[in-house]
Structure 1
């Protein structure tokens, strides 16, 4: 099996796992029950770490297209758009930082940067795109409550869960799946790490 076919199979597998994980969602903020967390960003972040940030974005895109084809949209595509935008805002910065210099430190820095980006993009996307697209026009006080007590804790919890699970899993699967050393156990980056 050549290198490109092998990579394509692994990307397809990660996308399929992400799709399955989208079915297991749970609310975490009782006063905003429609804000539900799923762990489908974990395979995308694994892909971004293993194959580069654009692969992580591709996995985010594929899983959302697949869920639309299989399940349809219950939110007029707003939920799927939100899932994609919020997922990419975490995956892309984390993948870029980690892939510039693969080490434990850059993985952590990337996930911290991604966690900050998910908050910024989450607020901007909801206020200016997602809420209006869904037909929700909140007054200033209601919007402030939604951002403060809904979006900030929700996206924070999501970023922490996805980052911690990815960190644990990537360290275990980096050699077997991605054929690279995660360098999570070493202080210095191994300059000879090659993705096969």
Structure 2
């Protein structure tokens, strides 16, 4: 086996393991907004971020797609479930691209703080817009679900706080993992 095949196989195995781990960690979830128990914080984005920073952006995307596909298949294939899984994927892609931008632009002591800030702000803005214009209206139309207050209030009081908490939580855990483990760097491959 040539060295490039060995690297490709190694990366495929790493991505597969991280995808499976991301899928499993998606089940480790807790509701954090009392008036919206369906909005749950999970740990599935941690392996996705590890793949993104340690392997490549493309690897992070593949891990996110793998996690989403597995979750969709094993939680039930339906249009309603597709809305939730699509939302989960959009959130993960937002996190991936935010972290990638900072990872490529900065190489200083503020890099990790900037990652958390950009990831949290991007996640909050993108998911608020997605929920306002697409996700919530589509879900309401397909299920007949009625909000007990206006859509804009739902975004302000549920979606925004949820994504701020999620962004900070995921970002801080990721930074703690990546900063305090010297062994991660030997697996890091840019590209």
Q: Is contact 1:25-1:38 (8 Å) kept?
A: yes
Question: SS of the residue aligned with 2:34?
Answer: coil
Q: Is contact 1:54-1:92 (8 Å) kept?
A: no
Q: Is contact 1:60-1:88 (8 Å) kept?
A: yes
User: Gaps (5+ residues) in structure 2?
Assistant: none
Greater helix fraction, Structure 1 or Structure 2: 2
Cα offset, 1:50, TM superposition: 0.9
Q: Is contact 1:57-1:91 (8 Å) kept?
A: yes
Cα offset, 1:9, TM superposition: 1.2
- Cα distance in 2 for partners of 1:174, 1:79 equals 36
Instruction: Pick the aligned partner of 2:156 from 148, 151, 164.
Output: 148
- Cα distance in 1 for partners of 2:108, 2:60 equals 18
Instruction: Pick the aligned partner of 1:128 from 130, 133, 149.
Output: 133
TM-score normalised per structure 1? 0.82
Number of matched residues?
A: 183
- Cα distance in 1 for partners of 2:171, 2:109 equals 13
Q: Is contact 1:48-1:95 (8 Å) kept?
A: yes
Instruction: Pick the aligned partner of 1:54 from 35, 39, 58.
Output: 58
TM-score normalised per structure 2? 0.84
Q: Is contact 1:178-1:195 (8 Å) kept?
A: no
